[in-house]
Amino acid sequence: MKCIIDRRAQFSASHRYWLPELTEAENAERFGLCARSPGHGHNYVLFASMEGELDEYGMVLNLSDVKQVIKREVTQQLDFSYLNQTWPEFQQTLPTTENMARVIWQRLAPHLPIVRIQLFEHPELWAEYEGNHMEAYLTISTHFSAAHRLALPHLTLEQNSEIYGKCARVNGHGHNYHLEVTIKGEMDDRTGMIADLVAFQKAVDEHVVEPFDHTFLNKDIAYFAQVVPTAENIAIHIRDLLEQPIRDIGASLHKVKLIESPNNSCEVYGASANTGVRVQQVAALASV
């Protein structure tokens, strides 16, 4: 039987987005604050996923051995380092989060049966790499607060209450929504970027966060005048709002994950992924 196991590791390092072939002004325009000298740092968190058959001891790999390999090949070399000068790969292609995930894969693949590298630059920005040449995934997380009411306009309060429970109450209720948006694309050979991170964040802010934040979705967002704003429908609408803006920055929208509460979340995929809708819930009703 095959299983996938994950191993977590961490390291602290600094880096700078700077291309010597550009002037100081051009670097500042392209990379913003990330171009400042001598650079800036992060506490990186790494998850290495490995796949294999269970052995007679019920293990895919001995995790003590895995720990030592990751330490020897990655964290011991990168911890408290200036990334641009630590590995030659980062002199050719900048140490962006997505490119770092790719290079870490390449460093570990000769020693471990890697199937995915996930690298967190901080809790609101992470990348995933699955061994597909220069293709990677980049995720940003953000949040907005909004109220909603779950009710079909052609049904009575009693009928809606049978379907939606307390969520049908006439004055609605609110959530602090947590939103994760994942894009997919080819990394640029020189910058190491799938897309401009500032443009990515701006697209999410302008098309979703600013219009949705501190609203009553049923009344303030035209789409929900006739569509019940369940977590599923909100996630689908966010996906539809972001498809074109993400294409405009040179990537494709891979996934939108909306976390309505610690108990409930919904994932919808972009047109290129074509994998439908996935709802995760602990409570009995997806929108409670």
Domains of the chain: 1-131 (3.30.479.10), 138-288 (3.30.479.10)
pLDDT at 286: 41
DSSP 88-140: THHHHS---HHHHHHHHHHHHTTTS-EEEEEEEEETTEEEEE-S-TTEEEEEE
The catalytic residues are 167, 214, 260
pLDDT at 118: 98
From first to last of its 288 residues, what are the pLDDT tens digits of the chain?
899 999 999 999 999 999 999 999 999 999 999 999 999 999 999 999 999 999 888 998 999 999 999 999 999 999 999 999 999 999 999 999 999 999 999 999 999 999 999 999 999 999 999 999 999 999 999 999 999 999 999 999 999 999 999 999 999 999 999 999 999 999 999 999 999 999 999 999 999 999 999 999 999 999 999 999 999 999 999 999 999 999 999 999 999 999 999 999 999 999 877 666 666 654 334 444
* pLDDT of 273: 73
* Closest among 64, 57, 60, 95 to 78, alpha carbons compared: 95
The per-residue pLDDT for 87 is: 97
What's the CA gap between 107 and 105, in Å, rounded?
5
Relative orientation angle of helices 197-204 and 231-248, to the nearest 10 degrees:
140
Beta bridge partners of 44: 11
Of 63, 55, 186, 50, nearest in space to 118 by CA: 50
Give the angle 211-98-183 at the CA atoms, nearest 5°: 35
Residue 272: the pLDDT is: 76
Report whether 281 contacts 266 (CB < 8 A).
no
